[in-house]
């Protein structure tokens, strides 16, 4: 086949439905010639993910819940026995109790702090360790982050702290795995209406605000995130690791945001 990912095999974790960022990445990777493997979280998502995977000739490696080590063992064992090796892996997984994605960060509970950091940050490290032996020829690991890691965003709260930890872990993982030829990067996507985003308070307002203030005067699509992902997963980016790459219509470079947005 042709494309920048021709002859490459990769896993994409985090497809929930066709609005998922992981789905935009899967489509772009497939378009660029990759052979894909996917998982779903629980039976509720199985029936959504199966037809999507099928439409890209992707293999389903079953149920994966990052809080359930048995499911992690099962997925990686199956990938090892069926594929033997992989070239890339996408982690598009995050979670926090919706009740804490509104109001004040200072009120975050210990329980939800632990759960959010575990699912949204530690899982990427856990997955990187499990992927390393499958990447004997080198590879590319990619996760998804948000500007709320760098700056305070209303309602993002504990998820901002989790993303800050995730971004730091991208750098530590890049240092650990670089000698094995494994690159580790993150895409910092602008706000996109997805299942996960619907848990964030005032999300429609955040979308409008970004549209009004971003240099390109628009929000980003999952296809646009997919394009940047294809590059980071491919040998075109072979000199890039430890990087947080923004796909946000340039929102993050604007220092002085407008106060009055006529259409907000």
Binding site for ligand NAD (CB under 6 A): 14-16, 19-22, 41, 45, 64-67, 92-95, 119, 144-146, 189, 191-192, 194-197
Write down the least CB distance from residue 125 to ligand NAD, Å. Answer: 14
Which residue number, 125 or 194, has a Cβ lying nearer to ligand NAD?
194
In angstroms, the CA 149 to CA 86 distance is 29
Which residue number, 56 or 119, has a Cβ lying nearer to ligand NAD?
119
**What are the backbone dihedrals phi and psi of residue 139, each rounded to the nearest 5 degrees, phi first?**
180, -175
**What are the backbone dihedrals phi and psi of residue 222, each rounded to the nearest 5 degrees, phi first?**
-65, -25
> Active-site residue among 146, 147, 231, 251?
146
> Is 47 annotated as belonging to a binding site?
no
Based on the residue annotation, tell me whether 146 is a catalytic residue of this protein.
Answer: yes
> Is 192 annotated as belonging to a binding site?
yes
What six digits make up the tokens of 84?
A: 């033997």
In angstroms, the CA 161 to CA 26 distance is 27
> Is 60 annotated as belonging to a binding site?
no
DSSP output for 240-264: --S-EEEESTTGGG-SS--S--TT-
In angstroms, the CA 146 to CA 153 distance is 10
> Is 193 annotated as belonging to a binding site?
yes
Write down the least CB distance from residue 178 to ligand NAD, Å. Answer: 23
Closest CA to 234 of 14, 24, 31: 31
Neighbours of 76 (CB within 10 A): 20
> Active-site residue among 105, 122, 147, 156?
156
> Is 222 annotated as belonging to a binding site?
no
Which residue number, 16 or 174, has a Cβ lying nearer to ligand NAD?
16
Which residue number, 72 or 135, has a Cβ lying nearer to ligand NAD?
72
What six digits make up the tokens of 120?
A: 């949204």
> Is 21 annotated as belonging to a binding site?
yes
In angstroms, the CA 194 to CA 1 distance is 32
Q: How distant is the alpha carbon of residue 210 from its chain centre? A: 20
Write down the least CB distance from residue 9 to ligand NAD, Å. Answer: 21
In angstroms, the CA 66 to CA 62 distance is 13
Which residue number, 26 or 93, has a Cβ lying nearer to ligand NAD?
93
Which active-site residues does the annotation give? 146, 156
Which segments are annotated as binding site?
Answer: 14, 20-21, 41, 65-66, 93, 163, 192-196
Which segments are annotated as binding site for NAD(+)?
Answer: 14, 20-21, 41, 65-66, 93, 163, 192-196
């Amino acid at each position: 086949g042709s494309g920048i990912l021709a002859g490459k095999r990769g896993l994409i974790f985090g497809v929930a439905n066709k609005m998922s960022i992981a789905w935009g990445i899967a489509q772009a990777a497939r378009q660029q010639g990759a052979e894909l493997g996917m998982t779903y979280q629980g039976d509720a998502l199985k029936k959504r993910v199966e037809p999507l995977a099928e439409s890209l000739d992707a293999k389903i490696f079953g149920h994966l819940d990052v809080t359930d080590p048995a499911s992690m063992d099962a997925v990686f064992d199956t990938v090892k026995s069926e594929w033997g090796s992989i070239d890339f892996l996408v982690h598009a997984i995050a979670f926090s109790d919706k009740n804490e994605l509104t109001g004040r960060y200072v009120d975050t509970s210990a329980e939800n702090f632990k759960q959010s950091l575990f699912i949204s940050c530690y899982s990427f490290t856990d997955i990187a360790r499990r992927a390393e032996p499958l990447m004997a020829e080198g590879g590319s690991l990619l996760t998804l982050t948000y500007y709320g890691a760098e700056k305070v965003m209303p309602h993002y709260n504990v998820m901002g702290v989790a993303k800050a930890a995730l971004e730091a872990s991208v750098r530590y993982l890049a240092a650990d795995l670089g000698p094995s030829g494994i690159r580790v990067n993150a895409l910092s996507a602008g706000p996109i209406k997805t299942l996960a985003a619907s848990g964030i308070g005032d999300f429609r307002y955040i979308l409008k605000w970004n549209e009004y203030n971003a240099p390109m005067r628009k929000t980003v699509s999952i296809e646009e995130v997919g394009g940047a992902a294809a590059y980071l997963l491919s040998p075109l980016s072979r000199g890039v690791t430890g990087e947080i790459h923004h796909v946000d219509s340039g929102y993050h470079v604007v220092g002085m945001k407008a106060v009055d947005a006529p259409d907000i």
